[in-house]
Amino acid sequence: MVRQVIQDPNPFLHKKSPPVSKGAFRSGSLKKIIQDMKDTLAAQDGLGLAAPQIGESPCIFVIPDNIAPEVRTPFAPLSFIKPLHPTVFINPKILYYSKEKETIDEGCLSIRGVFRPTPRSYEVKIRALDERGRKFSLKTKGLLARVFQHETDHLEGTLFINRF
């Protein structure tokens, strides 16, 4: 179901998301939130969506399945059939930020029409769980690295305009 994207200054956007528990992976409610996030992102013009942006608190973000596939480098065990290119990131943690920075205009679905030059690390390595609760990690650069940083900021209660 497509949900409304919450707009700043809604205080919900400024709260830290609690981690998803292991038991939650057996619940239908987690699957429903993830599907709603995918549906909502598909109906938008964004590159990612974090759960707080639709009024949900779990530590989850999603990206479209067609975003920058050429820069995804899986560091997951070969035994993983899926996801070599995950689109759902549960309890994500960025493990590495490159010293090299890139500053480009950044926007947000929760702050419509606002774009600001935002410095971000050019390369990151992220670890997360997929929809089934399996661990994976990815190292990426450029646009996808920026998206990972932007979405993990959402899960910490930080908007890109708060970085100034």
Q: Are 136 and 80 in contact (CB under 8 A)?
A: yes
* 131 is a catalytic site residue: no
**Cα–Cα distance, 138 to 113 (Å, whole number):** 31
**Cα–Cα distance, 135 to 32 (Å, whole number):** 21
If one counts every other C-beta atom within 10 angstroms of the C-beta of residue 146, the result is 23
DSSP-derived pairing of the beta strands 60-62 and 49-50: antiparallel
Instruction: From the candidates 56, 106, 131, 151, give the one annotated as an active-site residue.
Output: 151
Domains by residue range for the chain, with CATH: 11-163 (3.90.45.10)
pLDDT (tens, 9 = 90+) of the chain, 164 residues, equals 999 999 999 999 999 999 999 999 988 999 999 999 999 999 998 999 999 999 999 999 999 987 755 444 454 444 443 434 569 999 999 999 999 999 999 999 999 999 999 999 999 999 999 999 999 999 999 999 999 999 999 999 999 999 87
* Token pair of 13 as six digits: 């956007």
Q: Is 63 helix (H, G, I), strand (E, B) or coil?
A: coil
